Amino acid sequence: MSERRACQAVEQHRSTQRYRAKERDDEKELVETMHELAHQYPRYGHRRICALLQRAGWRVNKKRVQR
């Protein structure tokens, strides 16, 4: 079955099927920093961890930290 017909059958745009997420260059460093903060402050939630990251100069929002 062609891609066009398959997408038409499930009512999905073909551009959605071809989308590839772009990974950030500093992804591993960000995750390590988040883990360090979570271990340092175990009672902090994702919003407060996000605030600490932003104060440290990271450009990140609370939804990304929550994930």
Note whether residue 4 is domain-resident.
no
Question: The domain containing residue 63 runs over which residues?
Answer: 23-67
Number of domains in the chain: 1
pTM of the model: 0.65
Whether residue 10 lies inside any domain: the answer is: no
Q: Residue 46: inside a domain, yes or no? A: yes
Torsion (CA) 59, 57, 52, 39 in degrees, nearest 10:
90
Q: Is residue 52 part of a domain?
A: yes
Asked, for residue 64, whether it belongs to a domain, the answer is yes
* Per-residue confidence (pLDDT) for residue 44, from 0 to 100: 93
List pLDDT tens digits, range 11-53. 888 888 888 888 888 889 999 999 999 999 999 999 999 999 9
